[in-house]
């Protein structure tokens, strides 16, 4: 069964550094998402992406964040200048579409980001 994959599984970075988190969504899926989970808190929506553009973003997704689909398989989340509070588990997800019957989101295993 196809799965969403994410790399790296863990990332440690210094405050102010740029990080890129990578995801390979399920191949026939058209919608892609990033969520994050700060330790002990809820899973929070960051952004959704469809047809090579952002379809929705949350208030968390400020100018420090960007997403890109650089080729036909990868979907990336970039944090330009990391802050301590960006430390979290970042999950990528994908779905076939947004409409009824297609909206199930399949999650990747996550990238644990630690900002020092």
Partner 1 sequence: GENVEQHPSTLSVQEGDSAVIKCTYSDSASNYFPWYKQELGKRPQLIIDIRSNVGEKKDQRIAVTLNKTAKHFSLHITETQPEDSAVYFCAASDPLRGNNRLAFGKGNQVVVIP
- Tell me which residues touch partner 1 (CB under 8 A): 3-4, 31, 33, 35, 41-45, 48, 55-56, 58, 91, 95, 98-100, 103-110
User: Of the two residues 49 and 86, which places its CB atom closer to partner 1 in the complex?
Assistant: 49
Minimal distance, residue 3 CB to partner 1, in Å: 8
Peptide bond into 46 cis (omega under 30): no
User: Of the two residues 68 and 103, which places its CB atom closer to partner 1 in the complex?
Assistant: 103
User: Of the two residues 39 and 84, which places its CB atom closer to partner 1 in the complex?
Assistant: 39
């Amino acid at each position: 069964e196809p799965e969403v994959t994410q790399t790296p599984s863990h990332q440690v970075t210094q405050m102010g550094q740029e990080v890129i988190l990578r995801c390979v969504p399920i191949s026939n899926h058209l919608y892609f998402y990033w969520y994050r989970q700060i330790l002990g808190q809820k899973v929070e929506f960051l952004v959704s992406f469809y047809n090579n553009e952002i379809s929705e973003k949350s208030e968390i997704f400020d100018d420090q964040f960007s997403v890109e689909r650089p080729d036909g398989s990868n979907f990336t989340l970039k944090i330009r200048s990391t802050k301590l509070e960006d430390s979290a588990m970042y999950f990528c997800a994908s779905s076939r579409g947004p409409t009824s019957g297609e909206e199930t989101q399949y999650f990747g295993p996550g990238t644990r980001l630690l900002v020092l």
